[in-house]
Every structure is written in structure tokens, then in C-alpha cells.
Structure 1
Amino acid sequence: MIKKMKPWLHVWLFALAAQAGAAPVSVKDDRGLLQQWPAPPQRIVSLLPSLTETVCALGACERLVGVDRYSNYPAAVDKLPKLGGLDDTQVESIVALRPDVVLVAPSSRVQDRLAALGLKVVVLETRSHADVKRVLQSVGQLLAVPEPLKVWQQIEAQMAEAAAGVPASARGLTVYYEVDSSPFAAGESSFIGETLARLGPRNIVGKELGPFPKLNPEFVVRADPQLIMVAQRNAVKLAERPGWNQIRALKDKRLCVFPPQESELMARPGPRMGEAAKFMARCLREVAPK
């Protein structure tokens, strides 16, 4: 039976750390909830790959004591306890790890249960570039890491370098970026869409449709993109979808298929977005009109 930590114990630990000279830290998460710790958390559970990568990019990988099933970068996190996914998060295993904080996405279904069991849960959303920058700052504040936005500066520098390598003839190409064969697309307001905008193509999925909308397949046919970007797992039989054999991208063979490691990286809104931009820029160089 898991027992909730008594409130007085939190107060006692806070006072003990303060007496020892440790500096308390506080952070407001994306629920607007402000929480405080008597000292920077040393035992962290992350239940989202992009948050795992953020902790590591800020130089605090050694503080992770458990991660979700899909966290696999950097390699060091593969040795940590895997605590399930969105539908099967292992709550008792998380509590047994005695984390100082659990980092989760808003979509986490166990955040309230973990909080009810006495754990401090920080909810962070990363859908856009601005979100990624803000989350870097929030996690840096939580971990008392100096200058966390240096990581953002590195991302920006990589994106600028990638954009500089895109031929002028590729700028303005209309593009459809598929994130799932349902089909779900990466819209202009998503972090993927914002990276594409930096590189020059025009997204057929406008901001008014949201970051990752589910589309009617006919939408793509009507939009008739000049370029399609898709993960290898979703690229099978694209031309066999109703009407898709008439899409310019497929007729002109302007199709970029990303292998699993690349497509996985590109789907994570975090410290490696600059690397993702380089993969997109490579695609644009390969399909650029001569």
C-alpha cells in the first residue's frame, strides 16, 4: 500500500535544508501552480522524452532516476528504470523511486494521482518554439542551472546554419508534413511548422487549423503540395491513397522519407530541434528545382 507523505514531513525537510544553507528553488508550471523545494531537486523522474532530453541538455542527466518507456536519448538514460507510457504509467514504481519532482506533459493521466500520493509534479507543455524556450528556462530554474538559455542559443544557431544552406529555388515550395498516417499533420503553429517556416517552404496547413490537426485526406489532395515530408513508417503506399497519385509532390518525386531515428528526433520539441532543422534542410536541397 502506498502511503501519502505527511504534510509536516515536507515542512520539516524544508526547514532542515534551509538550516544547512541550501538555497530553495521555486517554479510555476503550465497549470499556473507555483511550487517550492528546500533545495534543487536531486532525484528526478521524467515522463516525456523531450523533457528527459531537456534535463540532460542542461547538464543534470545524473539526477534522473527514472524515465518513460520512450526516453532513449542520450544513451545514458537507457540504463534507467522505464516507467511505462501514457496509458500504463507505473505509479507505484515511481513512488518507490522517491523522486523530488516528476516532470510530465499536460496529457499525462497520472499527474493528479501522483500529487495525491505526496509527489511534486511539474506539468510542462512543449508545442511551439516559444514553449521549448520557456521550458528550458523553467527546468533550468528548477534545477538551479546557470544560464539555461545557452541551450536555446545553440538551437537558434543550428537553425540559422540550416536555413543558410537551403537553395533559393526551394524556398516557397508548398509542403505537407505528415506526423501520422491518420492523417495528422504538422501545422504552421507547431514546433515542426515553425522550423519549416525558418527554412523557407510554405506549409499547406495554416495556423487556424491548430498545431497538429487531423485532416480529411481530401484536404491534402486539394492543397496539392509540391513537397511531402513523412516518416518511413507512414510512407507505404502513399500514391495508393484516393486521389494522391495526382498530387504534384508524388508526380514530381518530391518526397522526403525520414528513417526512424531521424523522424523520432524531428517529433521531439526539445534541445535537438536544431538537428531536426538540418534534416529538413537536407531534404529541401535534395528536392530543390534545378
Structure 2
Amino acid sequence: MRLKISLPFVFLLWLVTNLAYAAVEVTDDSGQLVHLAKPAQRIISLSPHLTENLFATGAGDLIVGTVEYSDYPAAAKQIPLIGGYNQLDIEGILALEPDLILAWHSGNPLAQVERLAGLGIPVYYSEPRSLAGVSHELRQLGRLTGREATAEQAAQAFDAGAEKLKKRYAQQREVRVFYQVWEQPLITLNGEHLISEGLSLCGGVNVFADLKQLVPVISREAVLEQDPEVIMGGGIKEGEGEKDPAWLIHWQKFTAMQAVKANKLYFIPPSLVQRPTPRFLEGTQIMCDKLQQARNH
């Protein structure tokens, strides 16, 4: 018996097949237009936050290589490493035959990334610096990988979570906060940084918001002069310092500071707030809880 296939069915099959391999164009965070002949199938991720965001969009299975500290979710630990975010193994990357490289614009060695782009590998530069930037990146990665539906769900959930936090803490008393990013040299962040926006959701005020640099180096004297009500900071190194409050201990000798006198020194797991990913809301909730604790103290 011969199977009859109708013309509408043939057309539908052709349409679905071609849509699956349709060309993709997106503009990355550097303003560059990225063109793919079809959704990416072999991706190199050059930052832990990009690895995490790919998994959030349902495209983690497309990653063929990533960098050190790409440790979330657990499946990310099984991906071959091609160096660190600040030093890449070019030969190792080429051997993996990627059809897309996701790069961290301010964190990766641009000369090495540009060399890869010069070899004809499409590069998407990531630099989300706001809550809206995180959900935007999720949607962009969804387009690049053909996982739009999952990416849209992740983006909507993130936006809804941010709005929920905003409403919950909108009427709380403002608390002046010094957020420490690094110890030597002493580094903080200005008001344009994502962490600063997270603090704002909680009713926190970044005492160094007006500085021009995104992650400025400051003096200990500058912190003493600001005399914040709260000091927050992470560990020694992301991935190794998730439970290490050593930086905070260094402030305890400055007993004249408000934060020290009232013991308002709070540890924040760095991977939850220093990566622009959906888990940033978990880190923001911790910051909100600490600020509420400071208000009630």
C-alpha cells in the first residue's frame, strides 16, 4: 500500500525544517551585529555567568568548552575547560570547532577574543549591567541558540522576581552601605553596577555611587570618611571564598565606624551577586535580609 502525502503536509514539513535552521541576527552588548546562518550548535562560553545563563535558557547542552569557575549548575563542571576568563587557550578553543563564542566584554582578554573573531568565528559580547540587562541577555541567548521559549520563561521569571523584591522593600528606611568587591587593592562599585541596583531594591544606598569608574579602587580612609551603617562583602575568590568572611574581619579594628560598633558586617556569597544571572535575585534577597536585620538591630 502506497502512502499518500498531501502537498500541505510537505509544505508544513519544509517550513518547520527551514525555520529550525533560519538565520539569526542579534545586536550584542558592545553594539556589534552578530549574524549566524543558523542557531548555534557548538558554543564556547568565556565566563561563568554566560555558562550559567546558557543553562538557564535550556541551552547548556550546546556548550563544548568554558572557563574556570563555571561551576553552576552541577552539569557545568563536566564541560571541558579552555583556560580562565582572563587567559584563553586559543588552540584548545579551535580544536573544539565552535560556531559561536560568547565573550565577557570587560573581563576577557580582548586581543585573544579578537584573534578568534579574525579567524571567522562569530563572537557575541556580553556586558549586562542592570536587572533589565540580565533578562535581555537571556532572551538574546535564546535567539542565538533557538531556545526562545525556554529563554522567555526564564526572563519573565527574573523580571517578576525583581519586581516582587522592589515592592516588598519600597517603603523601608534607607541604609547607607559600603560594598566591598576586593581587598587588595580595595575595590568597590559605583551606582551603575548591577550590585548597586540590587542594593537599591532593598532600600540600600551605595555610599560610593557617585564615583565615575564602574569598579573603582579606593582608600580605606575614604570608607572611614563615609562611615557607612553597613559593610557588605564577599570572599577571597569566587568559587573558593563562598563561605569566607575574611575581608569583613579586617574592618573590626576600626571601632569608631557605625558598621563596626553595631556589628553590621555582612557576608554575601560572591557568585550570587557578582554574576549577572537569574541567581542574582537570590543574592539580592540575602542583601535585603541583611539590611532588614540592620534596620531592626
Alignment TM class, shorter chain as reference: 0.7 to 0.9
> 1:94 Cα shift?
0.7
- Whether the aligned pair in 2 keeps the contact of 1:158 and 1:275 (CA below 8 Å) is no
Deviation per CA, 1:89-145: give whole Å up to 9, x if none: 111111111111010011322111111223221111122223323322322221222
Describe how 1:73-84 pairs up with structure 2 within 5 A. Answer: 73-84=72-83
Q: Summarize the alignment of residues 58-207 of structure 1 with structure 2, pairs less than 5 Å apart.
A: 58-107=57-106, 108-109=108-109, 110-147=112-149, 148-163=151-166, 171-181=173-183, 182-207=185-210
CA–CA separation in structure 2 for the residues paired with 1:245 and 1:167: 31
- 1:238 matches 2:238: no
How much does 1:161 deviate? 4.0
- Decide whether aligned partners of structure 1 residues 195 and 217 sit closer, same or farther in structure 2, where only a CA change above 3 A counts: same
Is 2:274 the counterpart of 1:267?
A: yes
Shift of 1:45: 0.8
Amino acid at match of 1:251: K
- In the superposition, the TM-score normalised over structure 2's length comes to 0.82
Identify unmatched segments of 5+ residues in structure 1: 1-17
Contact 1:172 1:201 in 2 (8 A): yes
Query: Which residue type is aligned with residue 77 of structure 1?
Result: A
Matched with 1:247 is: 257
- CA positional deviation for 1:187: 2.2
- Residue 228 of structure 1, CA deviation: 0.8
Counterpart residue type for residue 250 of structure 2: K
RMSD of aligned C-alpha atoms? 2.2
Q: TM-score when scaled to structure 1? A: 0.84
Question: Does the 8 A contact of 2:131 with 2:162 survive in 1?
Answer: no
1:32 paired residue number: 31
CA deviation after TM superposition for structure 1 residue 167, in Å: 9.9
Which of the pair has the greater relative contact order for Cα pairs under 8 Å at 6+ separation? 1
Q: Report the number of matched residues.
A: 265
C-alpha separation in 1, matches of 2:190 and 2:144: 31
Return the alpha-carbon distance in structure 1 between the equivalents of residues 102 and 250 of structure 2: 38
Q: Distance in 1 between matches of 2:75 and 2:113?
A: 25
Q: For 2:102, what is the secondary structure of its paired residue?
A: strand
8 Å CA contact 1:156, 1:274 repeated in 2: no
Structure 2 distance, partners of 1:67, 1:272, is 19
- 1:125-184 residue CA offsets vs partner (Å, 9 max, x unmatched): 12222332332232222122224343233223333444566596x631111111111211
CA distance in 2, matches of 1:173, 1:50: 29
Alpha-carbon distance, 1:27 to partner: 1.9
State the secondary structure of the residue aligned to 2:255: helix
8 Å CA contact 2:132–2:159 kept in 1: the answer is: no
SS at match of 1:122: strand
Question: 1:14 maps to what in 2?
Answer: none
Q: Percent identity?
A: 31
Q: In structure 1, what is the Cα distance between the partners aligned to 2:81 and 2:289?
A: 34
